[in-house]
Amino acid sequence: MESVLSIKDLTKVYGKFSVLKGVTLDIPKGSIFGLVGRNGAGKTTLMRIVTGLAEPTSGSYSLSGISSTDKKILSVRRRMGSIIESPAIYRNLSAYDNVKLQYINLGMTSYDSIPELLELVDLQGTGKKKAGKFSLGMRQRLGIAVALCGNPDILILDEPINGLDPQGIIQMREILLKINHERHTTILISSHILEELSKLATHYAFIEKGEILQTLSSHDLMSKVRKASRLVVTSTELLCPLFDREGIEYKVENEETVDIFSDISATRIIALANEAGVEVVSISDNNESLEGYFMNLVAKKDGIV
Ligand code: ATP
């Protein structure tokens, strides 16, 4: 698949501290690529490097096929829009004037498309109101409008959902999906909450302590998230030896509750319970959460599991 952004063996060292350790990533054209990592994992540093705000210690990246070591990267970077840390907006200007200023910066001479752009981010009708009086969500959306000026191939957004209320999160998600579907803009978006990205991302990379732990498509993620049945019984102590005997994967939660990860029927569970002289109180779905999947990956890296 064609990549808009290709990152190769990127490292960043501050003093003795390695913030990025050989990061290699391909961001497919048309994707919404979720970069997921805990606070301090290196997400912002990676985004600062590919947007030209910081230099890598070693390694390189290419944007639309142009290498970061090529002088042409400066002009290709104009095909990229971003919000890193906070949106680049002027608080004393209206939404319209913020966007217009960016048009001027980019050398665009027609402002006809500004109302359409403001409508795309749900800021139509804000009139003369200054951005300083906007809510956080409105400021973030204005930042996206500014980043979209010049119709970039890729939008790079550092934790754009951070701090938004549930309504603001839904609104942001819908806008990003609209941008991706209607404008075919590739989006690289970071978050420390996988669940938040799961409703829009098509691909993921998990980053921890400057290293990419895993990259996968959302389809593969969903099939990897472990399916479990939660069993409430009168005694897990009596039942689990039978699970061991049968090679059934399980995790005991407490004396009466156990999660079974193997794909086995309720009839077989009940038969084993009968054999153990244990009563089954209930069987229900208890699929692993996305957050659980991510934390499990991190724990594996730390050698905890
Ligand atoms: P957060 O969600 O908290 O912003 P992050 O994944 O974006 O986390 P980064 O901001 O990239 O993480 O920071 C990664 C690590 O690099 C952190 O430990 C941070 O303290 C360190 N770091 C970042 N910038 C610098 C700098 N200029 N000098 C020294 N250390 C830095």
Interval 12-40: pLDDT, tens:
999 989 999 999 999 999 999 999 999 99
pLDDT of residue 87: 82
Distance CA 131, CA 128 (A): 9
pLDDT at position 1 over 80: no
Which of these ranges, 46-60, 195-209, 223-237, has the smallest mean pLDDT? 223-237
Distance 212 CA to ligand 1 centre (A): 15
Domain boundaries, the chain: 3-224, 229-287
Which of these ranges, 3-17, 34-48, 276-290, has the smallest mean pLDDT? 276-290
Query: Which residue type occupies 41?
Result: A
State pTM to two decimals: 0.83
What separation in angstroms does the CA of 302 have from each of 46, 60, 213?
A: 22, 27, 11
Atom of ligand 1 nearest to the CA of 210: 14
pLDDT at position 289 over 90: no
Say which residue, 205 or 293, is predicted with more confidence: 205
Domain 229-287 falls under CATH 3.30.70:
yes
Beta carbons within 8 Å of 124's beta carbon, 6+ residues apart: 115, 118
Beta carbons within 8 Å of 113's beta carbon, 6+ residues apart: none
pLDDT of residue 150: 86
pLDDT of residue 245: 95
Atom of ligand 1 nearest to the CA of 17: 30
Atom of ligand 1 nearest to the CA of 14: 29
pLDDT of residue 67: 92
pLDDT at position 173 over 90: yes
pLDDT of residue 226: 74
Q: Whose alpha carbon is nearest atom 2 of ligand 1?
A: 39
Q: Is 87 in the pocket of ligand 1 (CB under 6 A)?
A: no
pLDDT of residue 193: 86
pLDDT of residue 57: 96
Out of 221-225, 228-232, 234-238, the most confident range is 234-238
What is the average pLDDT across 219-240? Answer: 89
Q: Is 191 in the pocket of ligand 1 (CB under 6 A)?
A: no
Superfamily for domain range 3-224? P-loop containing nucleotide triphosphate hydrolases (3.40.50.300)
Which of these ranges, 60-74, 192-206, 253-267, 282-296, has the smallest mean pLDDT? 282-296
What is the average pLDDT across 103-130? Answer: 92
Q: Beta-carbon neighbour count of residue 107 at 10 Å?
A: 8
Q: Is the separation of the CB atoms in 190 and 47 below 8 Å?
A: yes
Sheet holding 186-191, edge to edge: 80-83, 154-157, 186-191, 32-36, 203-208, 211-217
Distance 235 CA to ligand 1 centre (A): 48
Chain mean pLDDT for the chain: 91
Instruction: Return left, alpha or beta for 178; rule: phi > 0 is left, psi -120 to 50 is alpha, else beta.
Output: alpha
Distance 118 CA to ligand 1 centre (A): 32
Distance CA 225, CA 37 (A): 17
pLDDT of residue 304: 58
Distance CA 28, CA 40 (A): 25
Closest residue by Cα to residue 251 from 296, 214, 195, 290: 296
Distance 6 CA to ligand 1 centre (A): 22
Q: Is the separation of the CB atoms in 269 and 259 below 8 Å?
A: no
